[in-house]
Amino acid sequence: MIRIAIQSKGRLNEESTALLQEIGIGIDDSKRKFLSKVPNFPMEVLYLRDDDIPQVVSCGTASLGIVGENEVAEKGLDVRVVKKLGFGGCRISLAIPKDSPYEGPQWFNGKRIATSYPRILKQYLDSQGIKAEIEIITGSVEVAPAAGISDAIFDIVSSGGTLVSNGLKEVEKVFFSEAVLIAYPNLSAEDEQMLQTMLFRIDSAIYSRDKKYILMNLPKESVEAATKILPAMRSPTVMPLAAEGWCAMHSVVEEDGIWDKILQLKAIGAEGILVLNIDKIIP
Ligand code: ATP
Ligand code: MG
């Protein structure tokens, strides 16, 4: 039985749950407790605040965890970062009042900076040779300058809308984060085996993300041009059609930019183009 810690609620909860479900670990989110057993997989899920996940994994209370790289770096504990998971992307940035002139990081010398990430901030300030005062605040960091608590903030940014509505501007993007799978550094052989099983499935899930299956009828002379438009995993599947001079071509394509590709395919004579969802790809 392997134990994995995930965020109980918040920005990473839904996608962590979805990823586990996608790789066949049938966790029932509606019935979740603090600790729940997965019905179809030898696994227990521990639901925690994201701040607590690095610690339980570093001491082995949970063998695995899904958490933001920002929390891993901030806690500075000994955990093995096994895999970036491709969701929960954000950055931690320095922001200052929007009307303040800014010419570079030296602006922060002698200033007070409010943050929930003092460790990551200190590393940055040290690396730049800046001496500033760090005010630790756990919630609503963005209101600190207006409240007179600080001159600047160091906080998570995704779209930047919160900064603008608080009269701030982002001036230094310091730390880029996404959700990662972390592991206890001294896993038992049995847990390591389980981790490898999960990784195989996670790789397939990540690889399949944003990919579609595309098939179409194509004049035979257009096959080469179509192959250039649709570089497949190895090469596209081409099958003859009963109609003379025509074939069917199947391939896998990134969803991003798919409409452009469809136009290009039509321009070389493709007809009856179908785009289908893919459940799993094992590359
Ligand atoms: P908890 O109650 O579990 O402590 P929290 O309030 O600390 O939750 P959330 O806001 O749910 O945390 O964010 C969890 C993680 O999601 C962050 O640590 C970060 O890695 C990631 N994240 C992605 N985008 C954002 C964003 N726009 N704002 C905050 N966190 C984000
Ligand atoms: Mg938290």
pTM for the structure as a whole: 0.89
pLDDT per residue over 43-95, tens digit each? 999 999 999 999 999 999 999 999 999 999 999 999 999 999 999 999 999 99
pLDDT at 32: 67
Mean residue pLDDT across the chain: 94
Q: How far is the CA of 148 from the centre of ligand 2 (A)?
A: 24
Concatenated DSSP letters of 240-275: E-SSTTEEEEEEEEESTTHHHHHHHHHHTT-EEEEE
Q: Is the pLDDT of residue 115 over 90?
A: yes
Residue 28: pLDDT band (50, 70, 90) is confident
Q: How far is the CA of 65 from the centre of ligand 1 (A)?
A: 15
Q: How far is the CA of 90 from the centre of ligand 2 (A)?
A: 14
Q: How far is the CA of 141 from the centre of ligand 1 (A)?
A: 13
Which token pair is 57?
Answer: 């994994």
With a 6 Å cutoff on the Cβ, whether 142 touches ligand 1 is no
With a 6 Å cutoff on the Cβ, whether 90 touches ligand 1 is yes
Q: Which residue has the higher pLDDT, 188 or 39?
A: 188
| Protein residue with least CA distance to atom 20, ligand 1 | 68
* Alpha carbons 104 and 14: distance in angstroms, whole number: 38
| Protein residue with least CA distance to atom 17, ligand 1 | 68
pLDDT per residue over 209-235, tens digit each? 889 999 999 999 999 999 999 987 778
Q: What is the mean pLDDT of residues 256-264?
A: 95
Closest CA to 130 of 111, 150, 155: 111
Closest CA to 71 of 62, 63, 79, 83: 79
* Alpha carbons 134 and 122: distance in angstroms, whole number: 8
Q: For residue 86, how far is the Cα from the chain centroid?
A: 3
With a 6 Å cutoff on the Cβ, whether 12 touches ligand 1 is yes
Q: How far is the CA of 50 from the centre of ligand 1 (A)?
A: 8
CA distances from 24 to 1, 56, 180, 183 (A): 16, 24, 19, 20
- Residue 96 bridge partners (DSSP): 169
pLDDT > 90: what percent of the chain? Answer: 87
The b/e string for 226-238 (b: 16+ C-beta within 10 A; e otherwise) is beebbeeeeebee
- Residue 84 bridge partners (DSSP): 180
Ligand nearest to the CA of 10: 1
| Protein residue with least CA distance to atom 3, ligand 1 | 49
